[in-house]
Amino acid sequence: TRSATMLATVLHLHRGTPYIYQGEELGMANAPLRAIEDFRDIESLNHYAQELRAGTRPEDILPGLRAMGRDNARTPMQWDASPQAGFTTGTPWLSVNPDHTEVNATAARADPDSVYHHYRRLIELRHNEPAVVHGDFTMLLP
């Protein structure tokens, strides 16, 4: 929660238009993809196959895919604590992040100290404080 609110604050207090990606406003984290079977991204799957053909061990390939792959941030939106996080009653393309029982929209909206409410306060600040939109800053340690 602390890192999510810190990053949101930096993003929203800089110049330009802040973008909020799916689940970022809830503090959703990357999914813990443990095996190649958990991945769906074609680039990750192709890279894995290429590395295997080159003789790289699977346990040496997976950390890079976890860090650089796209699937860990493409998991279903976590609406609530239900079995598929309120995203579907079926089987989603990617597994739901196991933290959905704690990190979800329903829980975030109910908690005034949540990442979600921090985002709301930042958006309000951008609308009501001209210095945030039109201000300038000087780098002290460039």
- Note the pLDDT tens digit of each residue in 4-60: 999 999 999 988 888 998 899 999 999 999 999 999 999 999 999 999 999 999 999
Looking at residue 1, what is its pLDDT? 80
Whether the predicted pLDDT of 137 surpasses 90: no
Looking at residue 139, what is its pLDDT? 84
Whether the predicted pLDDT of 85 surpasses 90: yes
Neighbours of 90 (CB within 10 A): 7
d(CA 45, CA 1) in angstroms, rounded, equals 31
Percent of the chain's residues with pLDDT above 90: 77
Beta strands in the chain (DSSP E): none
Domain extent listing, the chain: 1-30+77-142, 32-74
**80 with 99: CB under 8 angstroms?**
no
Q: Flag the least confident range among 9-23, 83-97, 105-119.
A: 9-23
The more confidently predicted of residues 88 and 131 is 88
Across the chain, mean pLDDT equals: 93
Percent of the chain's residues with pLDDT above 70: 100
Neighbours of 25 (CB within 10 A): 21
d(CA 91, CA 84) in angstroms, rounded, equals 8
